[in-house]
C-alpha cells in the first residue's frame, strides 16, 4: 500500500482547523446555508450528508475559501478568511487537498503531471518513486502518461484523489469521491482516507453513500453531519 514518505507534523493540535460561527451563504438573494456553526478539530473524520441541492458542495467550497460567507465568521487554520490576501488563500490551499465532483484537470498534461501539479506550483519536484507508488495505489500506473480526457469517470476520480493527497495536506475535502467507482475501488479509496486520518489528517467527505459511511464507522471514529433546511445538524447514530 502507498504510504507518505514524510512524517506528518500535526500543527495546532487542540485548535480547530476549520471553524464556522453563525455562517450564512446566499446566492442571488436566496439563502442557501444559514446559522452554520462548527469546529473541525485536527485529526477528525467527518461525513457530510443531505439531500441533493441542500448545499453540501457550497459548504465544501466555503471550507477551502472558494466562496466567502455572506455573514458570520469562518476561520481556516485559525485565520479569519476575510483577513486573508489572495496569496494567503493560495498558501492555505496547499494545506488542503480537494477532490471535486467534476474532477477538473489540465488536459494537455499527463495524468502523472496532473497528480504532481500541487508540488509543481509550490516549486517542488515530485519524488518519482513516491509518484509511481501513489499511481499504483490508485490503480493508474498504466495510465501515468495518458491525458486526462482519455480517462474514464472512475479513473478521473482516482486521479483527483491522488492529486489531493500528493502534498500530504492537513485537511482533505472530498465531494462525492466514490460517485463513479465500483465498491472495491471505493473501499480502497476509503482505506486510503482512513490511513491518512490515522496519520493526523482531518477528513471531510460529502457523500450520499450510506454503505461507505457504515464501513468507515466500523474502522474509525467518525461524525456524520447533515445539511437540512439550510442548517447543519449532527446526524443520528443509526447510520
Which residues of the shown chain bind other proteins in the complex (CB under 8 A)? 64-68, 86-87, 89-94, 98, 100, 104-109, 117-118, 120-122, 163, 167
CB of 58 to other proteins, least distance (A): 13
CB of 6 to other proteins, least distance (A): 17
Nearer to other proteins, 120 or 230 (CB): 120
Nearer to other proteins, 81 or 224 (CB): 81
CB of 134 to other proteins, least distance (A): 15
Cβ of 58: how many Cβ atoms within 10 Å?
A: 17
Nearer to other proteins, 49 or 105 (CB): 105
CB of 65 to other proteins, least distance (A): 7
Nearer to other proteins, 93 or 188 (CB): 93
CB of 124 to other proteins, least distance (A): 11
Nearer to other proteins, 117 or 235 (CB): 117
**Which residue in the block uniquely carries the three cell numbers 509550490?**
122
Nearer to other proteins, 110 or 215 (CB): 110
CB of 106 to other proteins, least distance (A): 6
Amino acid at each position: 500500500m502507498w504510504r507518505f514518505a514524510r512524517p506528518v507534523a500535526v500543527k495546532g493540535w487542540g485548535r480547530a482547523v476549520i471553524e464556522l460561527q453563525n455562517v450564512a451563504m446566499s446566492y442571488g438573494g436566496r439563502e442557501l446555508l444559514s446559522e452554520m456553526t462548527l469546529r473541525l478539530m485536527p485529526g477528525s473524520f467527518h461525513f457530510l450528508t443531505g439531500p441533493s441541492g441542500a448545499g453540501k458542495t457550497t459548504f465544501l467550497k466555503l471550507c477551502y475559501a472558494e466562496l466567502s460567507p455572506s455573514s458570520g465568521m469562518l476561520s481556516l487554520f485559525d485565520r479569519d478568511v476575510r483577513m486573508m490576501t489572495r496569496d494567503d488563500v493560495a498558501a492555505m490551499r496547499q494545506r488542503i487537498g480537494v477532490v471535486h465532483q467534476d474532477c477538473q484537470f489540465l488536459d494537455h498534461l499527463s495524468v502523472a503531471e496532473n497528480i504532481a501539479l500541487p508540488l509543481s506550483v509550490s516549486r517542488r519536484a515530485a519524488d518519482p518513486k513516491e509518484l509511481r507508488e501513489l499511481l499504483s495505489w490508485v490503480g493508474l500506473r498504466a495510465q501515468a502518461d495518458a491525458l486526462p480526457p482519455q480517462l474514464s469517470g472512475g479513473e478521473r476520480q482516482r486521479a483527483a484523489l491522488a492529486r489531493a493527497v500528493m502534498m500530504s495536506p492537513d485537511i482533505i475535502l472530498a465531494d462525492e469521491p466514490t460517485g463513479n467507482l465500483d465498491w472495491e475501488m471505493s473501499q480502497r479509496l476509503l482505506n486510503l482516507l482512513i490511513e491518512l486520518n490515522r496519520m493526523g489528517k482531518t477528513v471531510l467527505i460529502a457523500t450520499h453513500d450510506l454503505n461507505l459511511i457504515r464501513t468507515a464507522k466500523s474502522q474509525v471514529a467518525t461524525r456524520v453531519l447533515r445539511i437540512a433546511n439550510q442548517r447543519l445538524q449532527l446526524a443520528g447514530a443509526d447510520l
